[in-house]
Amino acid sequence: MKKSKVVHIISSLDVGGAERVFIDICNLLNEKGHDVTALLIRQKGELSNYLSNGVKKINLDRKFKFDILAFKNLYNLLDEFDIIHVHTRYTFYFVSAVMALKNNKNYKLIFHDHYGKIEVDKKVPFFLKILNKN
C-alpha cells in the first residue's frame, strides 16, 4: 500500500496547544510510515525540536503579511504533496490565497481549526467559505 505524502502547515511552532497537536500528528503519521513534511510559514519556534527526525522540515521564513517570496515558495511546493493539512485559521487564509492561483486544481485539503469552543461555535466565517473551493 502506497503511503501518503502529507504536508502539515502552521505559522510557527511557538509554545501553544495547536502547535503541540501539530507535532503529535506529524510524529504519529511519520511513525506509521507516511512521508511527512512540517511546513512553517513564519519561524521554527521553541517546539520545533520535538518533531521526529523522520519528519522533513521546511521554513518559509515569511517576514510580513504580503511576503511575495514566501507566497511564491509555497506556490511551488504545494503540488509535491498528496494531502495538505492546514492548522489554524490564520494559516488557512494564507494557504488558500496561494491555492486560489492554482487554476482550480483540486487538493486533498484538511483544515484543522483550533479555535476555542468549536463545538459551541459552529459558524464558518465567510472568508473560509469563499477561499475553499473544495
Residue 90: per-residue pLDDT = 85
51-69 confidence digits (pLDDT tens): 999 999 999 999 988 899 9
Distance CA 29, CA 52 (A): 10
Buried b / exposed e over 63-83, threshold 16 CB at 10 Å, is: eeeebeebbebbeebbeebeb
Rounded to two decimals, the pTM is 0.83
Q: Which residues contact 2 (CB under 8 A, 6 or more apart)?
A: none
68-77 and 89-99 helices, crossing angle to 10°: 70
Residue 21: per-residue pLDDT = 92
Residue 16: per-residue pLDDT = 79
Distance CA 51, CA 8 (A): 12
What is the biggest distance separating any 2 CA atoms in the chain, rounded to whole angstroms? 41
Residue 5: per-residue pLDDT = 93
Instruction: Tell me the mean pLDDT per 10 residues along the chain, length 134.
Output: 86 88 95 95 91 96 91 94 91 89 79 66 64 55
